[in-house]
Amino acid sequence: MTIPAPREDLKSDNDVPVPPDSTDGEGPGDVVLRLTDVVKTFPGVRALDGVQLEVRAGEVHCLLGQNGAGKSTLIKTLAGVHHADGGEITWLGEPFAPATPQAAMRAGIATIYQELDLVDDLSVAENAFLGHEDSRLGFTRRRSTAAKTREILSRLGHGEIPPRQAVRSLPAAGKQVVSMARALSHDARLIVMDEPSAVLAHDEVENLFRIIRELTAQGIAVIYISHRLEEIREIGDRVTVLKDGRTTAANLPARSTPTRDLVSRMTGRTIEYVFPPRRPAEQRDPLLVVDGLSRTGEFADASLTVAPGEIVGIAGLVGSGRSELLETIFGARRADSGTVTLDGKRITSVGSAVRKGMGMAPEERKSQALLLDEPVYKNMTLASFSTFAKAGFTDAGGERKAAERTAEALELRPRDVSRPIRTLSGGNQQKVVVGRWLLEDTKLLLLDEPTRGVDVGARAELYQVIHDLAERGVGVLLVSSEVPEVLGLADRVLVMREGRIIHEAPAGAIDEDAVLDMIMAGSLTTESILEGEPA
Amino acid sequence: MTTQTAPPEAPAKQERRKLDENTLRNLGLVGVLVLLIVVGIITKPDLYSDPTWVKNNFLTILQQASAIGVVTVGMTFVIIGGGIDLSVGAIIALAGVWATTLATQSYGAGGMIFTALVVGIAVGLVNGVLISYGKLVPFIATLAMLVAARGLAAQISAKQTQVSANDFINSLASERLLGIPLLVWILFLVVAAGWVLLNRTTFGRRTVAVGGNPEAARLAGINVKRHTLLLYALSGLCCGIAAIMLTSQATSAQAAMANLYELDAIAAAIIGGTLLSGGRGTIVGALFGVLVFSTITNLFAINNLSTEVQNMVKGAIIVLAVLIQQFRYKSLTQLFKR
């Protein structure tokens, strides 16, 4: 059993190379926002562990970091959704601790989340002024609201959007403009944008950049989050890099910092991932064969194989189509074209997948995998209780015993299988979801982000479980946004970007920087790596 | 201030869960029943001093509860499975009317019972198909059925009351076995079967899974659509049984029978602890819910009070029960907030 390396030795106070007040970036205005040593703890996780950030008026400040680096927690803290446990935030020279999202809005910080929070059936103007409607005696003043909205929209360069049109009928780019109009309706002086380009087509991104430039020209500061390095180079002024909840580099110039520097700031680890040693799997005929699988708008022409006892990892960002691919392989989504076969037999639905020996631990544990009010053992047997049953009558005793054996094998804590599963920690809940398929005669296990929200200790145990499964001859297809996890666990690595598998290599033949560079479409080595690859 | 990333020994503070929630709630409902009886004793001490009357009154309450109790069992399954069935009263009317047409009655008691059950199941299946495969919201689908089934019942009966001439059917309400009316036996049988079905069979397990987290159920290989379909068919079957029971009580059937049964059944299931959003509920609780309502009705009847007041009290009880549940649920979720 491997034990994760303790973090203390790596936590000497000054391993964060923050230039004290570097002015090498071309931040044009005064500092409006400053975060010093901000800490935010959730049970079992230090989501923010000493964040430094400095944003100036009129600049585009980019936040860079891998999934789980703490970007989301950070922007939610600024938006008043989370409250910092430690450190200092100053906004316009005053200490800043918004109690609610409304308070943050009133103070002039607007956040545009990736999934836009618009009311589809209200009009553009109503959405822009949602929550602070222009009204007299409780009656909305539609004409003046429309006029104000029109003014804001033309400020954004989109005077052509009619304020009275329903938001539902707008394309994604239009909805984003409405979100920005809402921010401006609050007189925002800082707009935080969480991956705004993720929902946009290529030519729409240019338009977004034009809007951002107009905003910054008016002295508004923008915090811009994106995984796409080329965007950061084009729109950004300065870059702050987060890793494991800490600032590892602050205020780097966005245009001139070498890609290699940015990537290494994101990857140099403080948490050691400990992976059990792995014997190379012997060559065997493939168990799972996926051939030319496509779903419009999600992924295209995906072909891959998994052999018994082999662990295949897919690296890719959220939105690269990896979860959709996994769910389609499992039969939970209908493929537009292409085939999935397990042991030579076609898989067309979840029912047939499960009957033929496929199991899946989905991405969203709580909403896709668990019955939170039910006891552990019933969650464990959710896919297999019929096989325990005799003539339709369930065998609770038999289920409980089998669940206890699995709990023992998985080192579930606490061991008691009668407790409601909602009382378990994330890591132990995940063990139950994986354990569900150990009770079945599972040949192939699909794991979607198996360690999301799982603390370091339980992570190592889950890695061990996955390895043990492979040793027993189970094929594993794994998806993770954490590149080291894919590299450390898998025998073979597939890299996915924008719905396509762009690279395949044995895990030993590729390193983290190269994978990261590929999934972020950076400029470092993409061309050389992709040479000779089918696009 | 460095935090040790100690292995998260799961919180031990929640060990105390000895009396589980359902038992507590059912005890609460028993308390309400006792309270209602005490009120009866206080307001009508002369009646309660006569043991024969007390026994007969008790059996009357049970007999009054029998048909609605059967419907509530089916409703409880549907709600636990994440749905709702607004059409139960209308299904009863349609099944009752269809079973008492002159043509059906000519086949005797067997033909009448068979017709009522088949009509109930068939209408339930239509509901289920619309909801599972037509992707209609249960509320809408069964609301439409509520209107349509009563319309068909009125059409078949030509808006007339159809008298049952079948002695066996009529005897169900009048005869007793071991001193207990046959209708009450039927209620007990259905409740017992419902309890076993929910707590001891794969069907029951699927019901909880489908209502508690349909996506998790689907990804575990459960056929959610087919199961949802079966749940509405089960509710329809219960309505068919109840149609025979009500026909026997009135020795007739008509298109207006079992009016507003859907509301009574939903209310009884809810105060019995069934979560309206699905995934949680008990048959025993639902039975107690029905008994509370029929005891109130009885209490008002022996005191010669108007049904208007009775309905106001019923409404208040529904609100109170749900408020208490919400309070309890809140405090529980706060306890589990990590």
CB contact under 8 A, A382 and B279: no
Query: Touching check for A5 and chain B: CB below 8 Å?
Result: no
Going by C-alpha positions, the residue among A94, A64, A98 that lies closest to residue A265 is A64
Position B105 scores a pLDDT of 81
For A245-279, b/e burial (b = at least 16 CB within 10 A) is: bbbbbbbbebeebebeebbbbbbeebeebbbbebe
Q: Which of A287-291, A519-523, B102-106, B108-112 has the lowest mean pLDDT?
A: A519-523
Q: Which of A109-113, B86-90, B282-286 has the lowest mean pLDDT?
A: A109-113
The contacts of residue A89 (CB under 8 Å, 6+ apart) are: A33, A34, A35, A36, A38, A77, A78, A95, A96, A97
Residue B336 lies in a domain: no
Closest CB to A382 among B14, B209, B338: B209
- % of chain B at pLDDT higher than 70: 90
**Secondary structure (3-state) at A314:** strand
- pLDDT tens profile A124-179: 988 888 877 777 777 777 888 888 899 888 888 888 888 888 888 888 788 888 88
Position A138 scores a pLDDT of 75
Q: Which two tokens stand for residue A419?
A: 């407790």
CB contact under 8 A, A367 and B14: no
Query: Stretch A415-431: mean pLDDT, rounded?
Result: 85
CB contact under 8 A, B205 and A394: yes
Q: Which two tokens stand for residue A317?
A: 């960002």
Residue B5 lies in a domain: no
Q: Which of A188-202, A294-308, A495-509 has the lowest mean pLDDT?
A: A188-202
**Secondary structure (3-state) at A164:** coil
Higher pLDDT, B7 or B155: B155
The ipTM value here is 0.78
- Which residues from A are below 8 Å from B11, CB to CB? 423
Position A28 scores a pLDDT of 59
Position A530 scores a pLDDT of 39
**Secondary structure (3-state) at B243:** helix
Domain formed by A8-108+189-267, architecture: 3-Layer(aba) Sandwich (3.40)
Radius of gyration of chain B (CA): 22
Amino acid identity, position A169: S
- Chain mean pLDDT for chain B: 86
Q: Which of A127-131, A318-322, B63-67, B175-179 has the lowest mean pLDDT?
A: A318-322
Q: What is the DSSP letter of A501?
A: E
The contacts of residue A433 (CB under 8 Å, 6+ apart) are: A361, A362, A365, A369, A370, A379
CB contact under 8 A, B213 and A370: yes
| 8 A C-beta contact, residue B123 and residue B149 | yes
Interface list for A 35-94 with B (CB within 8 A): 41, 43-44, 46, 86
d(CA A38, CA A361): 34
Q: Is the pLDDT of residue A65 over 50?
A: yes
- Chain mean pLDDT for chain A: 82
Position A524 scores a pLDDT of 41
Query: Stretch B161-186: mean pLDDT, rounded?
Result: 87
Position B12 scores a pLDDT of 38
- Which residues from A are below 8 Å from B338, CB to CB? 43, 425
Q: Is the pLDDT of residue A394 over 90?
A: no
CATH of residue B117's domain is: 1.10.3470
| C-beta atoms surrounding A139 within 10 Å | 8
Whether the upstream peptide bond of residue A414 has omega within 30° of 0, thus cis, is: yes
Position A279 scores a pLDDT of 67
Position A415 scores a pLDDT of 84
Query: Stretch A258-271: mean pLDDT, rounded?
Result: 68
Query: Stretch B198-211: mean pLDDT, rounded?
Result: 92
CB contact under 8 A, B202 and A46: no
Position B328 scores a pLDDT of 61
Instruction: Calculate the alpha carbon distances from B154 to A315, B89, B256 in Å.
Output: 64, 13, 8
Going by C-alpha positions, the residue among B256, B258, B213, B302 that lies closest to residue B70 is B258
Place of tokens 């132990």: A428
Place of tokens 């309070």: B327
Position B7 scores a pLDDT of 40
List the beta bridge partners of residue B252.
B163
d(CA A326, CA A4): 29
Q: Angle B88-99/B224-250 helices, nearest 10 degrees? A: 60
Q: Is the pLDDT of residue A253 over 70?
A: yes
Query: Stretch A327-340: mean pLDDT, rounded?
Result: 92
Categorize the per-residue pLDDT at B229 as very low, low, confident or very high, splitting at 50, 70 and 90: very high
Interface list for B 4-23 with A (CB within 8 A): 5-11, 14, 17
Q: What superfamily in CATH does domain A288-530 come from?
A: P-loop containing nucleotide triphosphate hydrolases (3.40.50.300)
Going by C-alpha positions, the residue among B293, B64, B295, B67 that lies closest to residue B186 is B67
Q: Which of A20-34, B40-54, B135-149 has the lowest mean pLDDT?
A: A20-34
Categorize the per-residue pLDDT at B334 as very low, low, confident or very high, splitting at 50, 70 and 90: low
The contacts of residue A284 (CB under 8 Å, 6+ apart) are: A307, A308, A309, A310
In degrees rounded to 5, what are phi and psi of residue A339?
Answer: -130, 155
Categorize the per-residue pLDDT at A113 as very low, low, confident or very high, splitting at 50, 70 and 90: confident
Q: Which two tokens stand for residue B104?
A: 């059906």
Query: Stretch A452-473: mean pLDDT, rounded?
Result: 81
| C-beta atoms surrounding A188 within 10 Å | 23
Query: Touching check for B328 and chain A: CB below 8 Å?
Result: no
Position A155 scores a pLDDT of 82
> How far away is chain B from the Cα of A361, in angstroms, using its nearest Cα?
9
Position B338 scores a pLDDT of 41
Q: What is the DSSP letter of A8?
A: G
Categorize the per-residue pLDDT at A367 as very low, low, confident or very high, splitting at 50, 70 and 90: confident
Higher pLDDT, A280 or B236: B236
- Which residues from B are below 8 Å from A419, CB to CB? 14
Categorize the per-residue pLDDT at A245 as very low, low, confident or very high, splitting at 50, 70 and 90: confident
**Domain coverage including residue B313:** 23-331
Query: Stretch A281-294: mean pLDDT, rounded?
Result: 85
Q: What is the DSSP letter of A424?
A: S
d(CA B226, CA B200): 20
Q: Which of A110-114, A200-204, B206-210 has the lowest mean pLDDT?
A: A200-204
CB contact under 8 A, B220 and A354: yes
- Which residues from A are below 8 Å from B16, CB to CB? none
List the beta bridge partners of residue A91.
A33, A94
Size of chain B in residues: 338
CB contact under 8 A, B221 and A350: yes
| 8 A C-beta contact, residue A475 and residue A329 | no
Q: Is the pLDDT of residue A116 over 80?
A: no
Domains contained in chain B, number: 1
- pLDDT tens profile B242-296: 999 999 999 998 999 988 899 999 999 988 888 888 888 899 999 999 999 899 8
Position A268 scores a pLDDT of 61
- Which residues from B are below 8 Å from A383, CB to CB? 220-221
Q: Is the pLDDT of residue B94 over 60?
A: yes
Instruction: Calculate the alpha carbon distances from A439 to A156, A377, B222 in Å.
Output: 57, 11, 16
Place of tokens 């338009």: A207
Position A272 scores a pLDDT of 54
For B282-311, b/e burial (b = at least 16 CB within 10 A) is: bbbbbbbbbbbbbbbbbbbeeeeeeeeebe
A-chain residue closest to B18, CA distance: A419
Residue B45 lies in a domain: yes
d(CA A327, CA A313): 15
Place of tokens 């923050």: A18
Position B332 scores a pLDDT of 54
CB contact under 8 A, B219 and A350: yes
Q: Is the pLDDT of residue A10 over 70?
A: no
Query: Touching check for B223 and chain A: CB below 8 Å?
Result: yes
Closest CB to B200 among A394, A413, A456: A394
Query: Stretch B117-133: mean pLDDT, rounded?
Result: 96
Closest CB to B279 among A6, A11, A371: A371
Q: Which of A63-67, A179-183, A338-342 has the lowest mean pLDDT?
A: A63-67
Alpha carbon dihedral A456, A461, A466, A468, in 10-degree steps, equals 160
- pLDDT tens profile B12-58: 333 344 456 677 777 878 888 888 888 888 888 888 888 888 888 88
Position A8 scores a pLDDT of 38
Position B186 scores a pLDDT of 94
Position B32 scores a pLDDT of 84
Give, for A135, the enclosing helix (H) or strand (E). Answer: strand A135-136
d(CA A149, CA A154): 9
d(CA B120, CA B142): 13
d(CA A179, CA A190): 14
Closest CB to B14 among A389, A423, A457: A423
Position A529 scores a pLDDT of 38
